[in-house]
Amino acid sequence: MNLSRGNPNLQPQFTNSFEAGYSKTYAGNNSFLASVYYKYTTDLITRYQETGINPVTKNPVFINTYINAKSSYVGGIELIGRNSITKWWDLTSNINIFTSHINTIDTGKNAIPTQPATWSWFGKLNNSFKLTKALTLQLSGDFTSKTVLPPGGSASNGGGGGGGGRGFGNNSSGNAQGYSKPTGGVDAALRYEFLKNRTASLTLSASDIFRTRVSDVYTTTTGFQQEYNRRRDPQFFRLQFNWRFGKFDMALFKRKNMKGERDSMEGIQGQGGGPSSSN
């Protein structure tokens, strides 16, 4: 009843991204970052659903595919704070308030109704607890409100807490015919460092502890209305072993550590994300 197909006629999308920020570091390893951003995309590749006929059974079906919308924009403000609450507790908080809109096209039988701009917000808290000199516990939680497009800023570069099934690995953005309902979840990780100079470590991580992350999408057209929800990779555990060997260059380590601190402050936290398709 629900078929999926590609679209060989898709055109590439282009994004112009603008961002301005202010950062300040305080005593005691405390810091604050504020930024405003705006992203404008032409020929946005977005999900699209239409009705059709199964060529084998001749029964009516829903066909999930992708189209190029005319354009889209997302703009907002992001605030990130990093605070050392105690010697053993560090807290990083992120709040992102934004508005987004997809300028669609008339596709005929399943024309896309014009939708107003949508206001949304994304929030994340990341706690790091130093239990002993060698043992660290990290506990994080995130929440995304009703959205049409994902947020910009550092939240679009990995601060979304694993995605929660939004997009499922493809390169499409948003929902031109509706919106995604609120979602969020909690993750945890426990790391133990050992050997001389702590060159080795074991990390046990757990994703979506309370099994709350779900892709819940509402779609409406002139021909039908639909709501569906999906889960992907819910509640998994990972055990990771790291071992640094060879000549240890402390100066290089310090430079990498400083860069890592900046990336963490920007919400990237070592996931390697950067502004996508930006001019």
What residue spans define the domains of the chain? 2-265
For 208, other C-beta atoms within 10 Å of its C-beta total 21
Sign of CA dihedral 210, 215, 220, 223: negative
d(CA 256, CA 64): 44
Question: Which pLDDT score, from 0 to 100, does residue 254 have?
Answer: 60
The pLDDT tens digits for 3-23 are 888 999 999 999 999 999 999
Strand ranges (DSSP E) for the chain?
A: 2-4, 14-26, 30-42, 45-53, 60-68, 71-86, 89-103, 118-130, 135-144, 178-180, 183-194, 200-206, 215-220, 225-230, 237-243
User: Is it the case that residue 100 has pLDDT exceeding 50?
Assistant: yes
User: Is it the case that residue 72 has pLDDT exceeding 80?
Assistant: yes
**Residues in contact with 245: Cβ distance below 8 Å, sequence separation at least 6, in sequence order:** 199
- Predicted TM-score of the model (pTM): 0.76
**Residues in contact with 256: Cβ distance below 8 Å, sequence separation at least 6, in sequence order:** none
The three-point CA angle 205-206-207 to 5° equals 125
